[in-house]
Structure 1
Amino acid sequence: MSTVTITINRLGAQGHGIGNGPDGPVYVPYALPGETLAIARNGDHGTVMSTANISPDRVTPPCRHFGPDSDACGGCSLQHLADAPYHAFKRSLVVEALKSKGLVPDVGDLVIARPAERRRMVFSAKLTEKEFLLGLNRAETNQIFSIQECPITVPGIVARFDAIRAVGRSLATGAETFRIAVLETLSGLDLAAEGLKPLSDKQRRTVTETVLSLKGIARVSVNGEIVIEPQKPVIDFGIVRVSPPPGGFVQATKPAEEAMAELVMGHIGKAKRIIDLFAGSGTFSLRLARLGRVHAVESEDKPLKALDHAARNTQGLKPVTVEKRDLFRRPMTVQELKTYDAAVFDPPRAGAEVQVKELARSGIKKIAAVSCNPLTLARDLRILVDAGYRIRSVTPIDQFLWSTHVETVALLEK
């Protein structure tokens, strides 16, 4: 380890400041462009020792848990950056990813995220000899920082931290670390614990008694199995109400979900037959069913059943059919796609390369691509563009405030 002085000239994809050291780039967490720093350098990683000049873009972080100290929460990485450069940075992640594949479409302004919007949070939890820890990992470690506040999270979750801790404590079987996904629903909080051993009958009784003594807990599950469900958790996808499966994927914020849905529906327009690939519990399918017939394809059984149940029990929708299918191993083929006017795909971070190759050869006129990973999106869009599709618009959407994650909706037509 050595001490050197560097000037930060840009932000990296992980939100670290990057400066040019004597042997190449050095990555410095919590540093901003324009700042000259004395750092303790360990390989290509630097820790700030002192700052000669402070960037005008640096602001006071809104959360007391945020900071460069080892004893700080690692849930956010960019609270110290002012709004305008932060928004520009988020947009640049999409622009640069597309450029890396030779794509230079117009990229719209970032749809911004605001504090107190995160309705779904995944916390780390652990019972120690002294206390029950519930929070997020410290930066670049597996150590839990037990939080007392969280400015990105909806008030309905923050106000029930004590209740969540009480449930978590009743679930803990030892000193193992586990996760609790917390989703705010219309009927209360849905708590989905993962990484625990199967509960004994005694533990089940303890969890049940704990939940019944509290207010605002709709369901508790462990490893996908429901332990207690005083109220069925319900969320709405437009006019349709859905009960997602325990731990099922739900967009992290309602405003981001609605922004994505508005873009997708505006593009699909008057299509009569629509296929929704990687459909989940119906984020897009159930909204699109107001426009035309929808075929929803998803690899997991439980979210597909939730989608199907909601469609069958909602009036005013066009017919919705469902299909359980692993689109990575068995994509919808050109022959199967020929009856559809429009397609939507919203895959995991790995993207949809195998499925997109089939879409590229199809005659589908309109495609809406939704992605949480600009790099795999760029790869997939390159395939479609090479097959004759035109990118009409690209919209970056901030769903994970003060992080380096960005959602994107790209709209294409042939």
Structure 2
Amino acid sequence: MAMLGKRRPSRAASGKSGLVRQPAAKSTSASDTSDALVVERLAHDGRGVAHDATGKTVFIDRALPGERVDAAVHVNRKRFDEAHVKALLHRSQQRVEPPCVYFGQCGGCQLQHMAIEAQRTHKQDVLCELFARQGIELGPPHVLHGSSEHYRRRARLGVKIDGQGNVLLGFRAAHSHRLVDIHQCHVLVEPLQALLPPLRALLATLEAPRLVGHIELLATASECVLLVRQLKAHALDAERWQAFAKQQGGALGAWLGRESASLHWYSAEPVLEETLQIEGQPPLTLTFAPGDFLQVNADVNQQMVAQVVKWLAPAPGQHVMDLFAGMGNFSLPIASGGAKVHAVEGSASMVARISSNAARNGLDVSAQQADLSDSAAVETLLTNQQHLDALVLDPPRNGAETVCKALSRYPVPRLAYVSCDPATLARDAAHLVQAGYRIKQVAVADMFLHTAHMESLMLFEYEG
């Protein structure tokens, strides 16, 4: 990996980008145009990419590289068209039978028609291509992955009443507000999957089902939690929810109100806990509350934390700062390795959560609130936290550009960056490489199996 993270000379654009840059023009009405096209590759969102007889780019839903398809254009745009497959004329060896009966209707999983290993290769390729656009060569990323089914421990189901008065429960269709009514879900963990039939039956008995907007499902190691988003309280339906909670044995609450919703429990209030078991460390228990961020895939999250701890190798006497620290997902395991950790979060409630979790586990973690998108705040933070041995970044989708720009003036020896958006990661990495950091390790975490989404991890070292 001698070339890993090294700048290369800029090159002319190939014209083969997988990213779709949406023009301002609005979609036109569906077209009857139909033509046979050869799929050249996948776009970053998982759609097949082809070119029509005029050379115009066509993005084709659920088409795979190497396939020849009879495609119908359903959206015409100035620079590209969007299409779907009318007939599959030549089939890719990567194509498999989707495991979910709602594939193609539900917008939750875009890649179930693609073999698992091919999905992971695609995600590796996406990361490498985005970095290539920044002039940075990557070696093949390592892949972290878990089970290929029943991995999702957190989900939000929409609730709607159709024109005939039937209650619909499910996920939205892709690029649409239309609700797809489901009776099962291939990716939900089994305890949540088992709740769908009785939940549907209960919704059909409610006096005022139109007051229900959506239902959040959450499974911890010890129990299942349902949170109902309800526009206002309804006494008779509250009794039904209470009976449901008692019958199912789980925790059930409701966010009540149109604007500033308050949480009311129909059951005993649960103690929500996440357990992290890192090799060579005692188990760590992190408490959290409804609304706190929690990764959807417990197994892959555990692997990501273990990978970051291994890369940073925290030891007594070291000082580490964790930015965008959440409830302490990385802070606590790093502190458990012996390092002194300073955690920073934008939310006051999460700062309190980090502090209580650290105290509960007897760990040396300090925490503070700061706006990490504000350059002055970041400058102050890095000035006050000099002599750091390592830094962890785990930002939201918009990345950590402000922090990465500041790190050129306040370099740290090692930096672990965990990203849920490979495009913003590539952008931020370009700032770091320009400032003298080099990429030493790369991993892709298949957190969201059967979708085009992924987590990426990188270890940077400062070489000046």
Match of 1:17 among 42, 48, 67: 48
Match of 1:36 among 68, 72, 90: 68
Q: Is residue 119 of structure 1 aligned with residue 142 of structure 2?
A: no
Query: SS at the partner of 1:243?
Result: strand
Structure 1 contact 391–412 (Cα < 8 Å) conserved: yes
Partner in structure 2 of residue 322 of structure 1: 367
1:327 counterpart letter in structure 2:
L
Query: SS at the partner of 2:424?
Result: helix
- CA distance in 2: counterparts of 1:307 and 1:166, whole angstroms: 39
TM-score (norm. length: structure 1): 0.91
Query: SS at the partner of 2:160?
Result: strand
Match of 2:435 among 379, 387, 391: 387
Q: Is residue 348 of structure 1 aligned with residue 393 of structure 2?
A: no
Partner in structure 1 of residue 101 of structure 2: 64
Q: Is residue 234 of structure 1 aligned with residue 273 of structure 2?
A: yes
1:105 counterpart letter in structure 2:
L
Structure-2 change in CA distance of 1:366 and 1:137 (3 Å)? same
Displacement after TM superposition at 1:399 (Å): 0.6
Structure-2 change in CA distance of 1:308 and 1:130 (3 Å)? same
Structure-2 change in CA distance of 1:157 and 1:327 (3 Å)? same
1:5 counterpart letter in structure 2:
A
Q: Deviations over 1:246-267 (max 9, x none)?
A: 1211011112111111111112
Structure-2 change in CA distance of 1:301 and 1:127 (3 Å)? farther
- CA distance in 2: counterparts of 1:409 and 1:164, whole angstroms: 38
**Which has the larger displacement, 228-237 or 75-84?**
228-237
Partner in structure 1 of residue 251 of structure 2: 217
Structure 2 contact 144–304 (Cα < 8 Å) conserved: no
Alignment of 1:373-412 (within 5 A): 373-412=421-460
- CA distance in 2: counterparts of 1:171 and 1:395, whole angstroms: 47
Q: Is residue 282 of structure 1 aligned with residue 315 of structure 2?
A: no
- CA distance in 2: counterparts of 1:201 and 1:339, whole angstroms: 59
Structure 2 contact 334–341 (Cα < 8 Å) conserved: yes
Query: SS at the partner of 1:234?
Result: strand
Q: Deviations over 1:68-108 (max 9, x none)?
A: xxxx2221111111223222111111111111111113232
Displacement after TM superposition at 1:345 (Å): 0.9
Structure 1 contact 245–303 (Cα < 8 Å) conserved: no
Partner in structure 2 of residue 76 of structure 1: 109
Partner in structure 1 of residue 295 of structure 2: 251
Displacement after TM superposition at 1:303 (Å): 2.9
Query: SS at the partner of 1:13?
Result: coil
Structure-2 change in CA distance of 1:310 and 1:13 (3 Å)? same
Query: SS at the partner of 1:41?
Result: strand
- CA distance in 1: counterparts of 2:55 and 2:210, whole angstroms: 43
Displacement after TM superposition at 1:176 (Å): 6.5
Displacement after TM superposition at 1:184 (Å): 0.7
- The RMSD of aligned alpha carbons is 2.4
Displacement after TM superposition at 1:403 (Å): 0.6
- CA distance in 1: counterparts of 2:206 and 2:158, whole angstroms: 13
2:98 counterpart letter in structure 1:
P
Q: Which runs of 5+ in 2 are unaligned?
A: 1-30, 278-282
Structure 2 contact 41–48 (Cα < 8 Å) conserved: yes
Q: Is residue 300 of structure 1 aligned with residue 347 of structure 2?
A: yes
Structure 2 contact 225–250 (Cα < 8 Å) conserved: no
Q: Deviations over 1:324-378 (max 9, x none)?
A: 2221133253312314221101011000111222233213211100000000001
Structure 1 contact 220–229 (Cα < 8 Å) conserved: no
Q: Deviations over 1:254-291 (max 9, x none)?
A: 12111111111112213521111111111111111202
Displacement after TM superposition at 1:203 (Å): 5.5
- CA distance in 2: counterparts of 1:375 and 1:12, whole angstroms: 13
Structure 1 contact 193–221 (Cα < 8 Å) conserved: yes
Displacement after TM superposition at 1:304 (Å): 2.8
**Which has the larger displacement, 145-154 or 300-309?**
300-309
TM-score (norm. length: structure 2): 0.81
- CA distance in 1: counterparts of 2:312 and 2:110, whole angstroms: 36
Displacement after TM superposition at 1:8 (Å): 1.0
Structure 2 contact 208–234 (Cα < 8 Å) conserved: no
Identity %: 29
Structure 1 contact 276–345 (Cα < 8 Å) conserved: yes
**Which has the larger displacement, 109-118 or 57-66?**
109-118
Partner in structure 1 of residue 166 of structure 2: 131
**Which has the larger displacement, 299-308 or 349-358?**
299-308
Query: SS at the partner of 1:376?
Result: helix
Structure 2 contact 394–418 (Cα < 8 Å) conserved: yes
Structure-2 change in CA distance of 1:101 and 1:57 (3 Å)? same
Partner in structure 2 of residue 46 of structure 1: 83
Query: SS at the partner of 2:432?
Result: helix
Query: SS at the partner of 2:336?
Result: coil
Structure-2 change in CA distance of 1:391 and 1:304 (3 Å)? same
Structure 1 contact 348–371 (Cα < 8 Å) conserved: yes
Q: Is residue 105 of structure 1 aligned with residue 105 of structure 2?
A: no
Q: Deviations over 1:207-251 (max 9, x none)?
A: 434323331236554546243452322221332222212121101
Structure 1 contact 192–247 (Cα < 8 Å) conserved: no
Which protein has greater RCO, CA pairs closer than 8 Å, 6+ apart?
1
**Which has the larger displacement, 4-13 or 232-241?**
232-241
Displacement after TM superposition at 1:54 (Å): 1.4
